[in-house]
Amino acid sequence: MKEVAVIGVGQTKFGKRRDASLSELAVDALKDALEDSEAEKREIKFLSVGNFGLSSEDITPAALVAEQAGLQGTTTMRCEAACASGSAAFYAAWLAVSSGIFDIAVALGVEKMTEVETPTMIEILGRAGSYFWEFHEFGVTFPAYYALYATAHMNKFGTREEDLALVAVKNHKYGARNPLAQFQNEITVEDVLSSRMIAWPLKLYDCCPISDGAAAVVLASKEKVKELGVDTPVWIKGIGVSSDTSTMGNRANFIGLRSSIEAAQLAYKMAKVEAKEIEVAEVHDCFTIAEILAYEDLGFCKKGEGAKLIREGETEIGGRIPVNVDGGLKAKGHPLGATGVSMIVELTKQLREEVEPSRQVPLKKYLALAHNVGGTGQYCYVTVLGR
Amino acid sequence: MKEVAVIGVGQTKFGKRRDASLSELAVDALKDALEDSEAEKREIKFLSVGNFGLSSEDITPAALVAEQAGLQGTTTMRCEAACASGSAAFYAAWLAVSSGIFDIAVALGVEKMTEVETPTMIEILGRAGSYFWEFHEFGVTFPAYYALYATAHMNKFGTREEDLALVAVKNHKYGARNPLAQFQNEITVEDVLSSRMIAWPLKLYDCCPISDGAAAVVLASKEKVKELGVDTPVWIKGIGVSSDTSTMGNRANFIGLRSSIEAAQLAYKMAKVEAKEIEVAEVHDCFTIAEILAYEDLGFCKKGEGAKLIREGETEIGGRIPVNVDGGLKAKGHPLGATGVSMIVELTKQLREEVEPSRQVPLKKYLALAHNVGGTGQYCYVTVLGR
């Protein structure tokens, strides 16, 4: 198993991107990632494409993206793990290099969601759960799945609607400092609490948006990093993945995601680090409650103490473990296939100390963590990065 | 890069499987593959799922299949490369073991196509080409894409409709001997020539059917093969992959698939074998012309001599290079995501000399080749297996 580093990253602006097609978004991100790396396009022989699909007329996007990017002939495939599709593509590219078969590989994530009409994106997402029972028979949509977690957490630990709102407020605060974010406006707790009810206790501002966008990363083996003379390689220290039932009715409880807990343990073990050593994290805040669950499931605090963490400002810059200081899914946006790759883009820039100064996290150990959930925890991919 | 072997294979019957859901088909194939191997279910920590999608209500099938198979917690993702999705899953599982991260992994391919109503499967498949121009603007469907290749080949090399028909006759002959095949009836050249015209010169019997089905293979590292005491491991000697433009109008010519030629060369190079050493092959005969192109692109004969090969019986058992002696896509069926995995299942059984005696190929060097095309050559995966 070879050591693998991130040597180039690129990302488009997330948001309503009526100006660009799926492949145009992909090519933009890829171009940026290649320019950011020391690699030449002709060296790229492996390209994995994270894409959920169903939201585009391009139903087999990997070859299309390869072609548009001038990477025809590349070994390519689409990787899909629902909302963790970007992480699945990152995982495949990591395998490709760690196996020694390729010394360089690209993982690209892309999604075009805002132009979907029929069936609506809400229905498509709802079908990503337990289709036959919970969506079709009982009409449970995605916000409702997470509302089950929110109400259980509130009931057991006294988490309040105001705590959930604080997550949205924090993530909008940092989104406003990130030029690539979909939402660049700060909001208040009152804005969140008074926004339209979606699935109690989740209101409109507790939910991440529907987004278009793409992100890409170039990976290289240790030998290739040396050969190219890369200044600041960011090493993949550990990756853990787990999966869980699609059926909410079969989950053991609603106060955390089993797949998050398992994936984090695997990643920490491979990276030989502890949760408390992580200095900056990207976590899967598709809904505000999801970020609070993640704090606990990833070991940033004990189970039940997530609300306390956000209340005390510990997940802001200056706090114990700054989380989603690029705006997160909530404010940066959540183009499904792009999200997992975008997390790696952000953390690579953080570890290189290259983000906007107003949202750069101060680092000592240079250890970062990405946490990407697929569905309501059917998939979880956790990656530990370090300098 | 670790050596990897196939240590267990399983497959459902292909065909109209109204009796089983997508996950039921998957679980059946997986159960057979695990029973065929010496591995225990609890040892499986990686599961890649080849599935084209759009043909099923289960839109994120990997976690669903893992759950139904009792493999919750596994590292899992869906792999998609159009009609080569099964090979993409096989490739991912191969990477997972060759990297040393897992000592055992499962690749599973599954598709449920026969119950699709709106949009029809013909439209879905047509969209897998160049959607905007060639499908949407000009109405080119999948048989029409391959008809372009057939007419070019006929024009340049004098290939006849009767030669195409011979491919269907051969594949039905062997399908009739394969209890897992969708069609188990022999047909004549006259049957093919008089069947309904689809896209000249391709008639109904020149086209593979729409199918349901699943196939699974268990892969293991050399160390694990020893530990388990596997009697007849089948080694993955080489894999080559290439990709090409989706747009037919951009192809250099219509007498062969560039991605097939490139993928084959890569696979032969990695395996350190030559085309003439291959003793049994599975090739992608989605249409009869595709099998003739494959003979040439894979180097079983010179360009332009494919029709001669089938005419002279060289691709039957007893000939120089028996091809698709399980019925091929044409008679065994073509459940998109399952096809690439099913090819590995068949060749593993051939190399172990375990298929029905009436279709067992006599072997000396024990070298086999699988060739799986995605779209009209947007993807091509070639695998060389050996004892």
Q: What are phi and psi of A105, to 5 degrees?
A: -155, 155
Yes or no: say if A165 and A310 are a contact pair by the CB < 8 Å rule: no
Predicted pLDDT at B150:
98
Is residue A293 predicted with pLDDT exceeding 70?
Answer: yes
Q: For the whole model, what pTM was predicted?
A: 0.97
- Select from B3, B60, B134 the residue whose CB has the most chain A CBs within 10 Å, as the one to mutate to test that interface: B60
Q: Do A95 and B99 touch (CB under 8 A)?
A: yes
Interchain proximity B63–A81, CB inside 8 Å: yes
Active site residue A83: yes
Instruction: Tell me the shortest Cα–Cα distance from A134 to chain B, in angstroms.
Output: 13
Report CB contact under 8 Å: B91, A99.
Answer: no
Kindly report the CATH number assigned to the domain that includes residue B47: 3.40.47.10
Which pLDDT value is given to residue A120? 73
A371 is a catalytic site residue: no
Residues A371 and A231 reside in one and the same domain: no
**Smallest Cα distance from A124 to chain B, Å:** 8
Give me the catalytic one of A79, A83, A208, A286.
A83
Residue contact A244–B72, C-beta within 8 A: yes
What's the pLDDT tens digit per position in A208-251? 999 999 999 999 999 999 999 999 999 999 999 999 998 888 89
Looking at the structure, tell me whether residues B215 and B345 fall in a common domain: no
Per CB-CB distance under 8 Å, the chain A contacts of B95 are 92, 95-96, 99, 101
Contacts of A102 in chain B (CB under 8 A): none
Asked if B380 contacts B343 with a C-beta cutoff of 8 angstroms, the reply is no
pLDDT band at A119 (very low <50, low <70, confident <90, very high): low
Write down which residue in B235, B269, B292 finishes a domain: B235
Q: Do strands A46-50 and A379-386 pair parallel, antiparallel, or not at all (unpaired)?
A: unpaired
What is the pLDDT at residue B355?
A: 98
pLDDT at B131: 66
**How many Cβ contacts (< 8 angstroms) between chains A and B?**
183
Q: How far is B194 from chain A (nearest CA, A)?
A: 34
A89 and A185 assigned to the same domain: no
Last residue within a domain, chosen from A174, A200, A235: A235
B47-98 pLDDT, tens per residue? 999 999 877 667 899 999 999 999 999 999 999 999 999 999 999 999 999 9
Do B214 and B292 lie in a common domain? no
Distances (CA, A) of B100 to B8, B200, B226, B351: 19, 50, 15, 25
Q: Which residues of chain B neighbour A74 with C-beta distances below 8 Å?
A: 242-243
Nearest to A107 by CA among A41, A46, A40, A42: A46
Checking if the pLDDT of A125 tops 90, the result is no
Enumerate residues 6+ apart whose C-beta is below 8 A from A138.
none
Condensed to tens digits (0 to 9), the pLDDT of residues A236-289 reads 999 999 999 988 888 999 999 999 999 999 999 999 999 999 999 999 999 999
Kindly tell me if the per-residue pLDDT of B249 is higher than 90.
no
Q: Of residues B83, B208, B286, B380, which has the active-site annotation?
A: B83
Number of domains in chain A: 2
Q: Which of A116-125, A318-327, B147-156 has the lowest mean pLDDT?
A: A116-125
Q: Do A59 and B54 touch (CB under 8 A)?
A: yes
For residue range B354-376, list pLDDT tens digits in order: 999 999 999 999 999 999 999 99
Q: Are A197 and A225 members of one domain?
A: no
Of residues A326, A271, A221, the one with CA closest to residue A7: A221
Task: Decide if pLDDT at A133 tops 80.
Answer: no
Cα–Cα distance between A151 and A158 in angstroms, integer?
Answer: 10
User: Burial code of A112-121, b = ≥16 C-beta within 10 A, e = fewer?
Assistant: bbbbbeeeeb
Share of chain A above pLDDT 90, in %: 88
- Chain B residues inside the 8 Å CB shell of A70: none
Q: Give the pLDDT confidence score for residue B121 in this predicted structure.
A: 75
> Measured in Å, how far apart are chain B's first and last C-alpha atoms?
19
**B107 - beta bridge partners?**
B48, B217
Q: Among all residues of chain A, which has the CA nearest to that of B266?
A: A75
Q: What is the pLDDT of residue A186?
A: 98
Whether residue B260 contacts residue B378, with contact meaning beta carbons closer than 8 Å, is answered with no
Determine, for residues A100 and B99 on separate chains, whether the beta-carbon distance falls below 8 Å. yes
Average pLDDT value for residue range A171-175: 98
Q: Taking Cα atoms as reference points, which of B314, B310, B331, B369 lies closest to residue B87?
A: B369
Q: How far apart are CA A308 and CA A287, in angstroms?
A: 18
Neighbours of A208 (CB within 10 A): 25
Task: Assess whether pLDDT exceeds 80 at residue B203.
Answer: yes
Q: Which residues contact B170 (CB under 8 A, 6 or more apart)?
A: B310, B315, B316, B323, B324
Q: For tokens 């267990």, what's the residue?
A: B8
Cβ contacts (< 8 Å) between A128 and chain B: which residues?
59-60
Return d(Cα A289, Cα B348) in angstroms, integer.
49
Identify all chain B residues contacting A243, using CB atoms and an 8 Å cutoff. Answer: 62-63, 66-67, 71-76
Instruction: Select from A60, A94, A108 the residue whose CB has the most chain B CBs within 10 Å, as the one to mutate to test that interface.
Output: A60
Rounded to a whole number of angstroms, the distance from the CA of A299 to the nearest CA of chain B is: 19
Residues B80, B196, single domain; the answer is no
Same domain, B142 and B84: no
List pLDDT tens digits, range B213-245: 999 999 999 999 999 999 999 999 999 999 999
How far does Cα A181 stand from its chain's mean position?
A: 13
Q: What is the pLDDT of residue A122?
A: 74
Tell me, yes or no, whether B273 and B147 share the same domain: yes
pLDDT range class, residue B298, cuts 50, 70, 90: very high
Do residues A231 and A257 both lie within one domain?
A: no
Which of B279, B267, B262 minimizes the C-alpha distance to B382?
Answer: B267
List pLDDT tens digits, range A43-71.
Answer: 999 999 999 987 766 789 999 999 999 99
What is the mean pLDDT of the segment spanning A355-360?
A: 98
Q: What is the pLDDT confidence band of residue B177, given thresholds at 50, 70 and 90?
A: very high
- B94-145 per-position pLDDT tens digit: 999 999 999 999 999 999 999 887 567 777 777 777 666 677 677 788 899 9
Query: What residue numbers bound the domain in which B14 lies?
Result: 4-118+210-235
Let me know whether A361 and A214 are in one domain: no
Residues B113 and B223 in one domain: yes
SS (H, E, C) chain A: CCCEEEEEEEECCCECCCCCCHHHHHHHHHHHHHHHCCCCHHHCCEEEEECCCCCCCCCCHHHHHHHHCCCCCCEEEEEEECECHHHHHHHHHHHHHHCCCCCEEEEEEEEECCCCCCCCHHHHHHCCCCHHHHHHHCCCCHHHHHHHHHHHHHHHHCCCHHHHHHHHHHHHHHHCCCCCCCCCCCCCHHHHHCCCEEECCEEHHHECCCCEEEEEEEEEEHHHHHHHCCCCCEEEEEEEEEECCCCHHHCCCCCCCHHHHHHHHHHHHHHCCCHHHCCEEECCCCEHHHHHHHHHHCCCCCCCCHHHHHHCCCCCCCCCCCECCCCHHHHHCCCHHHHHHHHHHHHHHHHCCCCCHHHCCCCCCCEEEEEEEECCCCEEEEEEEEC
Q: B80 and A62 in contact by Cβ < 8 A?
A: yes
Q: What backbone phi and psi angles, to 5 degrees, belong to B22? A: -55, -50
pLDDT of residue B58: 77
pLDDT digits (tens, 9 = 90+) for B31-42: 999 999 989 999
Shortest Cα distance, chain B CAs vs residue A150, angstroms:
23
Distance from CA of A316 to the nearest CA of B (A): 31
Report CA A169 to chain centroid distance, whole Å.
19
So what's the pLDDT on residue B45? 96
The minimal CB distance from B77 to the residues A74, A81, A244 is found for: A81
Regarding whether A201 and A219 lie in a shared domain, the answer is no
Confidence of residue A319 (pLDDT cuts 50, 70, 90): very high
Mutate to test the interface with A, among B77, B260, B265, B381 (most CBs of A within 10 A): B77
- Domain-terminating residue out of A219, A235, A251: A235
Report the pLDDT value the prediction gives residue A54, as an integer from 0 to 100: 74
B58, B98, B375: residue with CB nearest A101? B98
Q: Do A73 and B244 touch (CB under 8 A)?
A: yes
Looking at the predicted structure, is the pLDDT value of residue A1 above 60? yes
* Chain B positions in Cβ-Cβ contact with residue A374 (cut-off 8 Å): 60, 63
Q: Do A80 and B82 touch (CB under 8 A)?
A: no
Beta strand spans in chain B (E): 4-11, 46-50, 75-80, 104-112, 197-199, 202-203, 212-221, 234-243, 280-282, 367-374, 379-386
A256 forms bridges with which residues in the sheet?
none
